[in-house]
Amino acid sequence: MSFPIGMMAAPDPDGGNPFLIVKATKEVLLAAKVSGCFKVYVCPADLGGRETLALVFAFFDDEDEPLNIRTPLVDDVESRHLLATLTSPFVNVHFFDEHGREFLIYEAEIDVPVITKSRLDGLKLLDSNFVQAQSMLHGVAGWFGLRTPQDDEEALTVKLAHNPLGESLAIQDARYPLHQHHGGKGYSISTLEREEPGNFQEEDIIKCLAMCFPQSQIYHGPLRTNDKEEICDVLVVTDQRVLIIQAKDSPNIERIAKQKLSRKQTTAMTAFKKAVGQVRGAQSYIKAGNGTLRYILNGEEQSIDISQKQLFAITIIKEVFERESEEYAKILNVFMVERSMPCYVIAYGMFFELCYRVHDPGKFFQFSEEMVESIKHLQDLPVINFHG
């Protein structure tokens, strides 16, 4: 599962039903489980000035603005496998989270409206380069946001009929090389549904960071020496920087997934403000050390000389809502002026994409610095778009 978040299909080498593979965040997986289905929209698309089609896979946590994964259709083996799979009456659907953990498997049925099957059967796949294929998806996003009831009726429906392994798996990862950060237990456990998400999310963030930083530089939940409270959720100490990461998540359960979008926006903003407040506390504690970071991990008090290191902060929340972007930026700019420390906010899914794509501490901080400068200059959050 070395590919990023997205969709993939493959034929069964033994001649059985083809496989449709969904790799996405836990929110997408839960939306599919709760709904018992997901939809696939066949959208008009522009590929370098040429008319073609693209796909939007929609997972309905919200009726009007569902979670979605946009997929270009170009002349390659992956697209051909995807088209063949989506026009099959039965498929096996395998759901993996962003770290490649398989939480759900379904035997599924696909309902394809006649008019949509005709469009797919008549589609001539076009050659493309990567940038053109990525650019195609911007227009697809606009189309999907303006879709009509007729578009809904013409979408394919993937009905998740039977789960042979159950829907409440807990996965333990005990691979030694992956759990060598400071404060690690030597293993991690993950579940799809999470009543208390905090520690699960922090361990997932550490898995992301380990794509870019040596685990010897990552600290999970270091405690202050004065009151034994956490300094921050995750700390990264490099040769030049001390990175404070404060994360906020909400339970990944059906009741939360079905909340109205307005409630989710309010919850996200509240979580963000709380995270910024906790970054303030972390910076105050670190600054009070006068160049020495004192902390407790595994019951032992230790210290690091950080007198020549720059402080940097990131707040990670479940979802950053674009319509609130100016408010996020306003709060961040007030904080950065007040504390003279760079800080930005990013959604967890996008944070995974960042770490997955850069795999390098220098590029990680280059991106981070560009984010901060854009927030200062635009007085708004920049649109994040990765092209590899």
pLDDT tens-digit readout, 266-302: 999 999 999 999 999 999 999 999 999 999 999 999 9
Residue 167 has a pLDDT of 74
CA dist 169 and 187 (Å) reads: 17
| Phi/psi at 144 (5° precision) | -65, -35
Residue 59 has a pLDDT of 97
Under the banding of pLDDT at 50, 70 and 90, the label for residue 129 is confident
CB proximity list for 126: less than 8 A, separation 6 or greater: 47, 50, 52, 74, 75
Q: What is the mean pLDDT of residues 96-109?
A: 95
In percent, how much of the chain has pLDDT > 70?
A: 98
237: nearest Cα among 288, 308, 287: 308
Q: Is the pLDDT of residue 387 over 80?
A: no
Over the stretch 223-243, which tens digit does the pLDDT of each residue have? 999 999 999 999 999 999 999
In the numeric block, which tokens belong to residue 193? 């549904």
Q: Are 289 and 222 in contact (CB under 8 A)?
A: no
Q: Are 205 and 233 in contact (CB under 8 A)?
A: yes
Q: Are 105 and 94 in contact (CB under 8 A)?
A: yes
Q: Are 348 and 205 in contact (CB under 8 A)?
A: yes
Q: Name the residue type at position 55.
A: L
Q: Is the pLDDT of residue 260 over 60?
A: yes
Residue 186 has what DSSP assignment? S
Q: Is the pLDDT of residue 198 over 60?
A: yes
Give the H or E element holding residue 110: strand 102-111
Q: Name the residue type at position 120.
A: L
Question: Please, what is the average pLDDT of the chain?
Answer: 93
Q: What is the mean pLDDT of residues 61-78?
A: 92
Residue 386 has a pLDDT of 66
Q: What is the mean pLDDT of residues 76-98?
A: 95
Inter-CA distances, 231 with 180, 222, 223, 291, 294, Å: 20, 6, 5, 16, 10
Q: Please tell me the pTM assigned to this model.
A: 0.92
CA dist 99 and 24 (Å) reads: 9
Over the stretch 362-375, which tens digit does the pLDDT of each residue have? 999 999 999 999 99
Q: Are 218 and 202 in contact (CB under 8 A)?
A: no
